[in-house]
Amino acid sequence: MQRTDQQGPSTVPKVDSTSGQDGARRELAGRVSVTLRPVASPTSLGLFGLAAATFTLSGLQLGWVPPSEGRHVALVLVGFAAVAQLIASLAAFTARDGTVATVMGVLALTWLSVGLVMLSSPPGSHSPALGLLLLFSGVAVGLTGVTALLTKLGAAVVFLTAGLRLLLTGVFHLTGSAGVKDTAGVVGLVLFLLAMYVAWASELEDATGRTVLPVGRKGKGLTAMHGSLLEQTKDLATEPGVRTRL
């Protein structure tokens, strides 16, 4: 049999159980424990990787670096930016920050793809296939930026700007427009400054245990920094990795 208890606007199904099952659940609850392991925040590493990628690529797009150096730029994207952001993504999953983990993973694989295409293409060329990937990445990163608005405004602005930067670069690869390329390069410089600021602010926050430079924390982001341990872990049983289904 099944009954439903009204809780606000939604109903939660519950299954009737015997006294023996209830006793087994209570005994199991007394044996189950969840261990939390402190880890260093990967946000600064990931954002420094993003800053390096966008600054180097902007240099190529704005003509500071000659087209013949395009393969060297590609090596920077693959060897530094992609690796730094991939490490940040994996560490963020361990730290239970799905938003940062997702956006860092998408960016890492995007820079890796951009670098590989640049390494295998003639200097100064553009690739419609890469353009399509960049359009996807721009939308994905932008949506993650909208999600980040719920917790950290500083990171959200960085991700939204990164999404715009990727979209513009994607349009350039689809059209070959020099004007779009220059615009993407300028937005890339703005992204560089934003990423450097939030990366440093996050690093100072971790080093001092308090907010030194504002990053716009709110909601769960504010609770994570200033809330009690009980406030931060009260929903732990329903988080991925603890609950039985993702």
The pLDDT of residue 32 is 64
Q: Say which residue, 234 or 32, is predicted with more confidence.
A: 32
51-65, 89-103, 104-118, 220-234: least confidently modelled range: 220-234
Residue 233 has pLDDT above 60, yes or no: no
DSSP-assigned letter for residue 79: I
| Cβ-contact 198, 158 below 8 angstroms | yes
Residue 10 has pLDDT above 50, yes or no: no
Quote the percentage of the chain above a pLDDT of 90: 56
Separation between Cα atoms, residue 246 and residue 242, nearest integer Å: 9
Per-residue pLDDT of 65-110, as tens digits, reads 999 999 999 999 999 999 999 999 999 988 878 889 999 999 999 9
The pLDDT of residue 210 is 72
pLDDT bin (cut points 50, 70, 90) of residue 199 is very high
Per-residue pLDDT of 181-195, as tens digits, reads 999 999 999 999 999
Cβ-based neighbour number of residue 236 at 10 Å: 13
pLDDT bin (cut points 50, 70, 90) of residue 207 is confident
| Cβ-contact 89, 101 below 8 angstroms | yes
- Sequence length of the chain is 246
Residues 6+ apart with CB under 8 A from 100: 42, 43, 46, 88, 89, 92, 155
Residues 6+ apart with CB under 8 A from 69: 60, 123
| Cβ-contact 112, 78 below 8 angstroms | yes
Cβ-based neighbour number of residue 122 at 10 Å: 8
31-35, 222-226, 235-239: least confidently modelled range: 222-226
The pLDDT of residue 3 is 39
- Residue type for 108, please? A
DSSP-assigned letter for residue 226: H
Residues 6+ apart with CB under 8 A from 6: none
How far is the CA of 68 from the CAs of 72, 137, 177, 180, in angstroms? 9, 26, 19, 20
Average pLDDT over residues 5-27: 56
pTM: 0.79
Residues 6+ apart with CB under 8 A from 24: none
What is the per-residue DSSP string for 93-107? HHTT-HHHHHHHHHH
Residues 6+ apart with CB under 8 A from 223: 231, 232
Per-residue pLDDT of 121-176, as tens digits, reads 998 888 999 999 999 999 999 999 999 998 889 999 999 999 999 999 999 999 99
Residue 20 has pLDDT above 90, yes or no: no
pLDDT bin (cut points 50, 70, 90) of residue 243 is low
The pLDDT of residue 224 is 57
What is the per-residue DSSP string for 115-149? HHHHHTS-TT---HHHHHHHHHHHHHHHHHHHHHT
